[in-house]
Amino acid sequence: MGMRKVAVVGAGMTKFMRRAQETGKELSWQATRMALESCEMTLDDIEAVCLGTAPDAFDSVHLKGEYLSDGAGAWGKPFMRSYVGGGTGVFAPIQGWYHVASGLFDTVLVVCEEKMSSYYPHAQGAFLTIFDHTTERALKPNLLWIFALEMNRYMQTYGLTKEDIAQVAVKNKRNAADHPCALLGDPDITVQDVLNSELLAWPVNRLDVSPVSDGAVTIVLAAEHVAKRITDKPVWIQGVGWSLDTAYWTNRDLAYPRYVEYAARMAYEMAGIKEPRKEIHIVEPYDPFDYKECHHLEGLLLADRGQAPQLVADGISLRDGNMPVCPSGGLLGVGNPIAAAGLMKVAELFWQLRGEAGARQVPGQPKRGLAQAWGDLMQVGTVVIMGTNP
């Protein structure tokens, strides 16, 4: 397609915390400094900066892109903030990718930050405005409704039980026990713990949900000729895809995320992938709720419809299984600072594919991984495929 090859050459992240003392600027700077140090670069080597962060309403800071710009190292450079709701964390690297692939820049920083703890009394309040102001908000909905409604429809359509789905939360929280930045890692958690946790909005219990968090993640992108000078282990972005479904969310099939399928097909085509189940070795799908991981695996065509929970039961999606899913611990385990959580998945693939994930390392020298995020009013899908070959 006449586009240049783009590699991830460095990554850094802060801890994911329920409440960080650092401001969003400070978190961004910490992650960015770490990412630059990881590939022995300085800000002078960077030509442009892409920033991802969720709605301004989260911390009541208008024009958050500008607010965070010093922490993101954006001063005096072409800088742009992108935002597609929860999908932002995987969209920002796509934006960085086309900055480099187009030939416009050789090196780009992608910074994703979120500070959800500022909203009082609870960050859920920031989400109330996602519903239509006239036809839905008059009913005083809260954010949990929309997930509970979707989860119930998904369970009913395929005859799944809460136990089937709770296994996903258990897997991810156990994986997260090995992540040094994780908020909710727990090596001993069981399905019973999830089922017995506080009921919020049936069928959603407390441990089915990822925690509100603060944190930041940064990656460094470089064009092929630069990447090869910076590192002997670049991880290449092989395919990207994104797609949007109707905003009238009550007018579509809630049991299947077709927008994720459209995004995945775009990325598979770009990466030349014909049989995703054989050619993708690690998957990091977006898992703000445990059923969403299943939902997304099906949309990514990596599981048959209604069969994704079986992957955990069969051990296929465990860290040492045939197709590890969320070996990082995902949002359920590591935490969910919205935009940063999506980019954490991209950073995890970078570390995994370089064999640098430490205790979380997936065995068998994986060669290709896929990260996906999802957001807006449950209708945007963003996908990035990365591999050790250009």
Partner 1 sequence: MTSKIDKFPGTPLREEDFKEGKILYHHDEMNGQFAWDTGIAIGSYLAALKAGVILGSHCRTCRKTVVPPRTVCEWCFRPMDSYVPLRDTGTVNTFSLCYVTWDMKRIKDPEIPAVIEIDGASPLHGIMHKLGEVEPDEVKIGMRVQAVWKPEEDREGSITDILYFKPIKALHRGFGRREVPEGHQRRGKDSGLLLRSLWDHLRPCSTVLRTLHGQAG
For binding to partner 1 (CB under 8 A), which residues are involved? 11, 13-22, 27, 30-31, 34, 38, 60, 120-122, 124-125, 128, 133-136, 138-145, 148-150, 152-153, 156, 180-181, 199-204, 214-215, 246, 248, 250-254, 351, 354, 356-361
d(CA 384, CA 290): 21
Minimal distance in Å, beta carbon 248 to partner 1? 7
User: Which residues does 350 contact at the CB level (< 8 Å), separation at least 6?
Assistant: 8, 11, 219, 235, 386
Nearest distance, CB of residue 200 and partner 1, angstroms: 5
Name the minimum Å distance from CB 230 to partner 1: 14
Distance CA 349, CA 367 (A): 10
CB of 272 to partner 1, least distance (A): 28
Least distance from partner 1 to the Cβ atom of residue 4, Å: 25
- Smaller CB distance to partner 1: residue 135 or 192? 135
> Smallest distance from the beta carbon of 334 to partner 1, in angstroms?
11
Query: Which residues 6+ apart lie within 8 Å of 313 measured at CB?
Result: 164, 167
The residue (of 164 and 239) whose beta carbon lies closer to partner 1 is 164
122 or 278: whose CB is closer to partner 1?
122
| HEC profile of 298-355 | HHCCCCCCCCHHHHHHCCCCCCCCCCCECCCCHHHHCCECHHHHHHHHHHHHHHHHCC
- Find, among 214, 231, 205, the residue nearest to 37 by Cα: 231
Comparing CB distances to partner 1, the nearer of 185 and 276 is 185
User: Alpha-carbon distance 212 to 17, whole Å?
Assistant: 8
Nearer residue to partner 1 within complex by CB, 8 or 237: 8
Q: Which pair of tokens denotes residue 89?
A: 């964390």
Comparison of 28 and 95: residue with beta carbon closer to partner 1:
28
Nearest alpha carbon to residue 373 among 130, 67, 63, 82: 82
Structure-token pair, residue 75:
């001063």
- Closest C-alpha to 199, from 189, 209, 190, 184: 209
Nearer to partner 1, 136 or 193 (CB): 136
Only one residue has tokens 């935009």, namely: 339
In the chain, the N- to C-terminal Cα span, in Å, equals 14
- Using the minimum distance from each CB to partner 1, give the nearer residue, 102 or 135: 135
Question: What one-character DSSP code corresponds to residue 251?
Answer: G
In terms of CB distance, is 187 or 358 closer to partner 1?
Answer: 358
Cβ at position 229, least distance to partner 1 in Å = 18
From the CB of 389, what's the least distance to partner 1, in Å? Answer: 20
Q: How many residues does the chain have?
A: 390
What minimum distance in Å lies between the beta carbon of 289 and partner 1? Answer: 12
